[in-house]
Every structure is written in structure tokens, then in C-alpha cells.
Amino acid sequence: MPLTDVLDSTMHYEETGTGTPLVFLHGNPGSSHLWRNVLPAVDLPARMLAPDLIGMGRSGKPDSPYRFADHARYLDALFDRLGLADVILVGHDWGGALAFDWAARHPDRVRGVAFLETIVRPMAWRELGDAPRARAEAMRGPKGEALVLDGTYFLESAFTGGVLHPVSEPDLRTYLSPYPTRDSRRPILEWARSLPLDGEPADVAERVERYGKWLAGSGETPKLLLTFDSSPTLLIGAELATWCRENIAALSTEHCGPAGHHAPEDQPHAIARAITTWVRHHDLIHDR
């Protein structure tokens, strides 16, 4: 369970194996714990790492606004600290957005990007259904602080309602333990308010627009979209998956069965198999 100094704080990461780095990035409100059943099932001779984003999991909680740019800055520093080059990225939720952002800014250091249930393009309020719209509006207003900061409802609902099969009590405690206080939950609220809708927040929308250009133009970099079904909580449904196939260069798609938004909880082995097959097919761990 390595912990390393990064900028003015520390970052925790899980690590196993040697070779080409395969980095798994979690989203909100998760941690590296999300990947606990995926990493052992990936059958590749690779150095697999799963960090906790800054302010989350067992990473430090510096005095930070925890904007997208802050997470990217700490992630950059962690990658540099660990000497990561020729990286294969796997990202879920905001971890996918951070993976795209890092790859777009370091195209000479990335071999491939696999992603699931993440932000592939800016969105508009009109695209949201009634329930997602009400949720987004609540998160952006005063109710957001009550829902996220004043208790653990948001955290608990992610791993009881955002999955097809609620996680066990011990696993839920692992997810909850880094957030015992109101202040410790601020990174979670900031992520919940960061979904780019009609160009706001502007800083996040700009990042997404920028990495969207890389996704469309990087035909030399293989990409893998993992899709799922049978859940109303999915971020990437059939329509958006079609958009990805039409707008993202060098994209393969693999369907991994029924799952909720936090799909590694429901389908860890299917995800691991898909990543293993994709990496081997594109020879991404072959020295070049």
C-alpha cells in the first residue's frame, strides 16, 4: 500500500506486477478500492497501479478547492514521481475524464486508453431526463451541501443504488472511512458539481472540449469503450455509445453485461477480460 509525497501532500496507490504501466483511475465518490476485484483478474505482464485521487481514499487532503485542474495537477505530479511513461490508462467516471485529459496533454507517453461510464463530451441540460436534471440542480444549489456534506447519504447511495448488487458492509465501510467529517467530503461535492452542462462550469467544459479534440484525432492511440446494460443509472447508454463509435478515433467497444454506473462492482471479471483481450490484440505491452 504505497504512499508517496506529491506536491504539498501525499497520494496513496495500490501496485502489483512489473512492466508496462497500466493505471486504473477511479471516479466520484470512489477510491482505488473500486478496482480490488479487477486488478487480480487482469491477465497481463504489466505494472498495474490504482491511485486514490487527491482528497479521496487514503490520499492526503490538502487545503484545495478540488477543481478538475487541481486533480490533474496532482495526478501529473504522481505520474512524474513514479516515472510513468508508455502508459495504458483505464478510467471510470471522473477518472476517465482525467485519463483523457492526461493523454491529450501527454500524447507521447500514452499507449492506449480504456474507459467506462465517463464524460466523453460536454452535455446540455436538455439532454438530461427528469431525475438526472433534478439531481444536477440539487447538487449545484444549497441542497447539494446538505446532501453531500452533512451526512453520508450520497456516498452510501453510490454503492447501494448506483450498482445492481449493493456492496458488502465491510466494503461500504472502506468507501466511507476516508470521509468522517463535513470538510473531508468537500472533494465529493466539487466533483458532483463539475458535470459540464451548457458550458458550465466553464473550466471543466474547456477541458472536456480540449480532450474531445484529442479523442477525435488520435487515430494512432487505441481506445476501448466498455458498455453495460440493464440499469437506469448508466451514464453511457446505447445512444452515447453510438456517438462514441462515430466520433472517437481508433475505438473498440466491448459489452460487459448488466451493471450499474459503478460497474467494476458488478462486472469486475468481465471488465478484466475485456481489457486483457484488448491490450493483447493491440500488442500494447510489446516494447516499441
Q: Tell me which residues are annotated as active site.
A: 93, 117, 261
Q: Is the omega angle on the peptide bond into residue 29 within 30 degrees of 0, that is, cis?
A: yes
Under 8 Å between Cβ of 6 and 64: no
CB atoms within 10 A of CB 242: 11
Q: Show the DSSP H helices in the chain as ranges.
A: 68-81, 94-105, 130-140, 142-148, 153-158, 169-176, 186-192, 202-217, 238-247, 263-266, 268-281
Measured between its terminal Cα atoms, the distance across the chain in Å is 30
- Please state, in angstroms and as integers, the Cα–Cα distance from residue 95 to each residue in 75, 125, 140, following that order: 10, 22, 21
- Please state, in angstroms and as integers, the Cα–Cα distance from residue 19 to each residue in 44, 220, 260, 283, following that order: 9, 22, 32, 13
Give me 248's grid cell. 472517437
Give me 75's grid cell. 495526478
Spatial CB neighbours of 167, under 8 Å, sequence gap ≥ 6? 159, 160, 175, 265
- Please state, in angstroms and as integers, the Cα–Cα distance from residue 278 to each residue in 15, 19, 113, 237, 285, following that order: 21, 17, 10, 21, 11
Under 8 Å between Cβ of 62 and 55: yes
